[in-house]
Amino acid sequence: MKLSPFSSLILAGLLATFGAAANAQTAAAPAAEPAAAPASPLAFNLGVVTDYRFRGISQSRRKPAVQGGVDYTADSGLYLGFWFSSIKILKDLPGGDGPVELDFYGGYKGKFNDAVSYDVGLLRYQYPSENFTPTVNTTELYGAVSFGPATVKYSHSLQKQTFGVPDSRGSGYLEAAATFDLGNGFSLTPHVGRQYFKSHSVNNSVASYTDASVTLAKDLGNGLALTAAVVGTNADKGFYSSPVNGRKLGETSLVLGAKYTF
């Protein structure tokens, strides 16, 4: 779920490798190495986090969550993917249900030139067993441009309600991030975003907020990576709080994670 007590993302990893075949050798020379197997267009990932934060807002009541997904990437740049996470935010609401978030997405990645690339696609956030009116299920169209280590991305809601916020057609999320290689498998990623709910009502303006994070990642090799992120928002503490224990869902905290990609 996303960005409001009526709401519950995220992006899954892509895999690309290449191999080369050795030329035939004479009988007196060492035997040629066999050609490497073609890279699979499929990549899978499984992980756990101490808190599932989506656009800065906790979807797991500031508690651990299990996550995973699969991605298909074609040589042409087309891709399809599926991702899931355990959540608590829907079950915390009166009459709510739904212990999981399912994300289905597809799009196309390409290049304007050697320095600038782009990514456009469609993403559906689905919450099985949710029973709210209006529904929290949401579809967004997104577009991103990357240059060097930096990426700017905008996601736009395509329906009348956005993550359960009523009468919020035209809402969107603008974000910017950059990933810096620190060497020895370490990388640092600062990020800032603005979730905007179209103000057709007073509550919608209260729901809008800005989030920011800094993530330190360590690639341990063989598909295993660890992350430590400081995540915070300026979200309204009354609107974005758990009705179960009163915890502020957008409060600044440290989030640890581990993910295995294969």
Spans of the chain, pLDDT less than 70:
1-38, 94-95, 200-203
Model pLDDT, residue 32 = 53
Output the pLDDT for position 185.
98
pLDDT of residue 4: 38
Whether the model clears a pTM of 0.85, i.e. scores above it, the answer is no
Pairing of strands 186-196, 65-73: unpaired
pLDDT of res. 11: 31
- pLDDT at res. 259: 98
All structural domains of the chain: 42-261 (2.40.160.40)
Rounded alpha-carbon distances, angstroms, from residue 148 to 14, 43, 123: 18, 24, 25
Query: Which runs of consecutive H residues, i.e. helices, occur in 186-229?
Result: 202-207
Per the CB < 8 A criterion, the answer to whether 55 and 9 are in contact is yes
